[in-house]
Chains A and B, each alone.
Chain A
Amino acid sequence: MKENDKELSELLSQLGLEPDETCRTLQEIRKGDEFFDQADALVNDTAVLERLEQRIHQELNHPASYPPRWKWRRLAVAAALAIISLVGLKLWFGLEPTQPQTGPTDQPIITYNVEDEVALWELALLSQDNPEMEFDELLMTEVIILFDEVNWEMENIFGKENSNEIYNTTAAGFDRPGTRCV
């Protein structure tokens, strides 16, 4: 709401204007306001307001009345998102292994235990050459062969720095999902 003369005068004083200057500015602003009021003292064509009222009625009686094309667009976007989600889910689950004890889910454990000695691709090749063997058995065979080569010396297997650490490792440390190594 516009200020009255007193408020405006106080405002001008707060801005550090001299009393004369304040008075003059106040008068000029008021004169400008009055002039504007006088020059604009006309009301609208009543038809404009009638049409506005019709629009208000229309909006209130049909809330969220988006144009029809927007409804279709929103539906199309929702359908596209649903299809993309379905295809994504299908692909994701389609790539998942069907047998829990074989395939990529075992890899972290294998990597942890024999990461320096037995490459995964070697195991994969072995797996192809020995289709009748389970992956666990294959891995165990490889580990036993490897350990046997170094006479089952822990230092030779894990290195000097890591051998103590290995001894201190609890069974729980190995007891992870996937292949049991101990």
Chain B
Amino acid sequence: MEKESLSEKLIQCQQGQTEAFSWLAAEYGPRLYRYFYRITASQHDAEDLLQELFVKLIEKIGTYRHQGRFEHWLFSIAANLARDRGRRRQRTAKIFTRAGNFDEKIKMTPARQASPEENLHRTELHARLQKALAQLPEADRRIILMRHYGQLSFAELAEHFHIPLGTALAKVHRGLKRLQRIMTENERK
């Protein structure tokens, strides 16, 4: 994404232009939705949080000063919303412990034209990833999801989670390895 276009869109958002918010929704909506979905494991909660996030964005965009860290800012709000929702309902842990009985299938379509076999493979992979994520310790899961969906650098992750840079790197590294191992083990079963 062009940095200039994002800056322009953010200025337009601050002026209350609907088209600019629609642009942000199209640009970040899918990623945010998947982030929420991975966190809550609920399609309904993910959509609810996504809408809540954009309402908050409309309220707060006036206070945002763009210094090239919009994604970090956006995903920080998203993470806080997801955490608050989890605390409020005290459901998150329960959801992830019953990941094996994952009955809610997210409605998704392939990003590009693909063969039916490829689609099936991707859908299976998608489900396996969700199951493996559910088996990760929560701290590892949160930092991996934030890196992947928020596209945050390790320095930004360290700042977001209030941990040293080396710890952020080690956590992501260890988490990704653990995730792959879990998926491999699940495949063998």
Contact = CB atoms under 8 A, between A and B. Distances in A.
A130 B51 CA distance: 78
A49 B177 CA distance: 33
Given A28-B176, A39-B128, A43-B109, A48 B33 contact: yes
B25 A40 contact: no
Chain A, interface residues (CB within 8 Å), range: 35 or more
Chain B, interface residues (CB within 8 Å), range: 35 or more
Contacts of A45: 106-109
Chain B interface mostly: helix
Chain A interface mostly: helix
A39 B169 contact: no
A38 B179 CA distance: 14
A56 B108 contact: no
A36 B125 contact: no
Interface stretch (B78-86, B87-95, B144-152): B144-152
B55 A40 contact: no
Given A35-B180, A42-B109, A53 B151 contact: no
A59 B54 contact: yes
A2 B126 CA distance: 23
B47 A25 contact: no
A11 B26 contact: no
Interface of B: 16, 18, 21-22, 25-26, 29-30, 33-34, 47, 50-51, 54-55, 58, 71, 106-111, 122-123, 125-126, 128-129, 144, 147-148, 151-154, 165-166, 169, 172-173, 176-177, 179-180
Interface of A: 1-3, 7-8, 11-12, 15, 25, 28-29, 31-33, 35-49, 51-53, 55-57, 59-60
Which 9 residue pairs are nearest across A and B when measured between Cβ atoms? A32-B176, A45-B107, A42-B108, A39-B129, A39-B125, A44-B30, A55-B51, A56-B21, A44-B33
13 contacts: A2-B151, A2-B152, A8-B154, A29-B172, A32-B180, A36-B176, A36-B179, A41-B122, A43-B109, A46-B109, A48-B107, A49-B25, A53-B25
